[in-house]
């Protein structure tokens, strides 16, 4: 069974996954286009770096570790060559500094200058000195291959040459965040709809994994696709995710949605902002704009059992690998049932895995057997 692989199969999958991370860091499109140091383009030929040095037993001095990391770098010019380098050094991944050395390998594969250029601010530490958490840029590097700082789709220009970079295309693996459920940030549709039905679940203190054995859970209805298109257009002007924008953006916002049959601009403005506040609120914008698409009626009439639409009830699996002292009870593979539409009109969950899942499957009821799966 794929859920209970033997040791050899698990080892092979782990090595391939680590190779994917390094090769994606080396080959993912450059979000900055140029080297900030001298204005020249980054090298075209991708190459991944494997920096897993051979260290004397018991080595823990950070200076010695980093010196050897720099001295014992190996370069792979293809995915296959990179995997071979990792396989030859497999036992070093399990050392006390194996994870740190793999992080260095990922950073070197991306190139340090390019990684720092992709960050909104290159000064904060990559690993929290108190709790040991990696920063968002490191997590994005592992999933996207890019050191961007945000979870929203695309880029947001704040003016004055300050550009915030987010997710530029559908990644192989997605991400869902408890911080979105708590309304501290918004995860874009690209992270919520990855190429494979696998998501990293980020809580306030830990990372766990959510996945499905069926790609059908990735399907979206035509109505959801229309709503996502509206949200992406609106978010171009809602740089801070406040849920409202200035009405001065209405002309360009309307022009960016040519598929919608909108009335004359002033009529549209009167409907969207009847009290003349000079603000456009997302909820009102969505309700007004949805019926103006020529395919809205057919999208509303579509039934969930029709071919190509997402299933109404489906199962997900959640895994929390935390097994340190006092947390061993959390290390379990849990089955989670999602029933779409069953929680419509009800308050959303306020914390935990259910709240995280409702940021992706809105109006869904979330269930499991026994105690709630832990994301902490």
Q: Tokens 């991370």 map to which residue?
A: 21
Residues 232 and 327 in one domain: no
157: enclosing H helix or E strand: strand 155-157
- Per-residue pLDDT tens digits for 258-287: 999 999 999 999 999 999 999 999 889 999
Residues 251 and 282 in one domain: yes
Residues 294 and 347 in one domain: no
Residues 8 and 105 in one domain: yes
DSSP code string of 240-276: T--SEEEGGGHHHHHHT-TTS----HHHHHHHH-TT-
Mean pLDDT, to the nearest integer, of 338-346?
83
Which percentage of the chain shows pLDDT scores above 90? 56
DSSP-derived letter for residue 335 is E
Residue 34 has pLDDT above 60, yes or no: no
Residues 1 and 106 in one domain: yes
Last residue of one domain, picked from the residues 301, 321, 350: 301
Domain hosting 359: range is 311-368
Q: At what angle do helices 7-27 and 79-88 cross, to 10 degrees?
A: 130
pLDDT computed for residue 326 by the predictor: 63
pLDDT computed for residue 251 by the predictor: 93
In a domain, 192, yes or no: no
3-state secondary structure of 219: coil
In a domain, 151, yes or no: no
In a domain, 5, yes or no: yes
In a domain, 281, yes or no: yes
* Cα within 13 Å of Cα(292), Cβ side: 18
Residues 19 and 88 in one domain: yes
- Closest Cα partner for 79 from 172, 147, 17, 146? 17
Residue 308 has pLDDT above 80, yes or no: no
- Closest Cα partner for 163 from 32, 16, 5, 353? 32
pLDDT computed for residue 199 by the predictor: 98
Q: Rounded to the nearest 5°, which phi and psi values hold at 175?
A: -150, 135
pLDDT bucket at 305, cuts 50 / 70 / 90: very low
In a domain, 125, yes or no: no
Contact 304, 312 (CB under 8 A): yes
Contact 131, 205 (CB under 8 A): yes
In a domain, 56, yes or no: yes
Last residue of one domain, picked from the residues 70, 93, 110: 110
Which percentage of the chain shows pLDDT scores above 70? 91
pLDDT computed for residue 41 by the predictor: 54
pLDDT computed for residue 96 by the predictor: 87
**Residue 102 CA to chain centroid, in angstroms?**
20
**Average predicted confidence (pLDDT) for the chain:** 87
- Closest Cα partner for 21 from 110, 92, 84, 91? 110
Q: Rounded to the nearest 5°, which phi and psi values hold at 151?
A: -110, -5
Q: How many domains does the chain have?
A: 3
In a domain, 77, yes or no: yes
Q: How far apart are CA 319 and CA 375, in angstroms?
A: 9
Residues 254 and 350 in one domain: no
Contact 47, 26 (CB under 8 A): yes
- Per-residue pLDDT tens digits for 113-147: 999 999 999 999 999 888 788 999 999 999 999 99
* Cα within 13 Å of Cα(209), Cβ side: 13
- Per-residue pLDDT tens digits for 155-208: 888 778 788 999 999 999 999 999 999 888 889 889 999 999 999 999 988 899
pLDDT computed for residue 303 by the predictor: 46
pLDDT computed for residue 307 by the predictor: 47
In a domain, 170, yes or no: no
Residues 363 and 344 in one domain: yes
Structure tokens given for 201? 């679940």
Last residue of one domain, picked from the residues 52, 86, 110: 110
Contact 91, 42 (CB under 8 A): no
Q: How far apart are CA 298 and CA 295, in angstroms?
A: 6
Dihedral (CA of 236, 242, 248, 251) sign: positive
Residues 321 and 345 in one domain: yes
Residues 1 and 47 in one domain: yes
- Per-residue pLDDT tens digits for 197-246: 999 999 988 899 999 999 989 887 778 788 888 888 888 788 676 788 99
- Per-residue pLDDT tens digits for 43-52: 568 999 999 9
How far from 61 is each of 67, 90, 144, 245, CA to CA, in Å?
Answer: 10, 22, 31, 52
Residues 230 and 318 in one domain: no
Dihedral (CA of 230, 233, 236, 238) sign: negative
Of 248 and 62, the one with more pLDDT: 248
Of 224 and 64, the one with more pLDDT: 64
In sequence order, the 6+-apart residues with CB closer than 8 A to the CB of 53 are 65, 68, 69, 71, 72, 92, 101
Residues 296 and 324 in one domain: no
Q: How far apart are CA 209 and CA 237, in angstroms?
A: 32
Structure tokens given for 353? 């895995």
CATH number of the domain within which 266 lies = 1.10.238.10
- Closest Cα partner for 85 from 19, 27, 153, 4? 19
């Amino acid at each position: 069974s794929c859920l209970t692989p033997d040791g050899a199969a698990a080892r092979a999958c782990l090595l391939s996954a680590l190779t994917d991370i390094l090769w994606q860091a080396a080959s993912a499109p450059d979000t900055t286009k140029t080297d900030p140091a001298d204005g020249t383009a980054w090298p075209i030929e991708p190459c991944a770096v494997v920096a897993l040095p051979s260290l004397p037993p018991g080595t823990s001095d950070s200076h010695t570790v980093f010196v050897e990391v720099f001295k014992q770098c190996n370069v792979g010019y293809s995915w296959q060559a990179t995997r071979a380098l990792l396989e030859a050094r497999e036992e070093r991944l399990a050392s006390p500094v194996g994870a740190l050395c793999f992080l260095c390998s990922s950073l070197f594969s991306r190139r340090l200058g390019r990684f720092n250029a992709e960050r909104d601010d290159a000064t904060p530490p990559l690993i929290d000195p108190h709790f040991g958490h990696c920063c968002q840029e490191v997590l994005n590097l592992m999933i996207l291959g890019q050191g961007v700082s945000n979870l929203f789709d695309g880029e947001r220009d704040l003016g004055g040459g300050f550009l915030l970079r987010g997710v530029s295309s559908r990644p192989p693996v997605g991400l869902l965040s408890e911080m979105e459920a708590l309304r501290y940030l918004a995860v874009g549709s690209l992270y919520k709809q990855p190429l494979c039905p696998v998501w990293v679940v980020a809580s306030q203190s830990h990372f766990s994994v959510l996945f499905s054995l069926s790609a059908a859970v990735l399907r979206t209805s035509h109505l959801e696709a229309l709503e996502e298109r509206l949200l992406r257009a609106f978010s171009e002007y809602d740089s801070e995710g406040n849920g409202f924008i200035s009405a001065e953006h209405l002309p360009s916002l309307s022009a960016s949605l040519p598929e919608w049959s909108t009335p004359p601009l002033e009529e549209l403005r009167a409907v969207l902002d009847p009290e003349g506040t000079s603000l456009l609120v997302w909820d009102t914008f969505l309700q007004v704009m949805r019926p103006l698409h020529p395919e809205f009626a057919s999208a509303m009439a579509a039934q969930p059992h029709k071919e190509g639409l997402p299933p109404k009830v489906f199962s997900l699996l959640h895994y929390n690998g935390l097994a340190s002292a006092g947390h061993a009870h959390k290390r379990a593979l849990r089955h989670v049932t999602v029933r779409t539409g069953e929680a419509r009109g009800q308050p959303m969950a306020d914390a935990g895995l259910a709240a995280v899942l409702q940021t992706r499957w809105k109006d869904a009821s979330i269930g499991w057997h026994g105690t709630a799966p832990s994301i902490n």
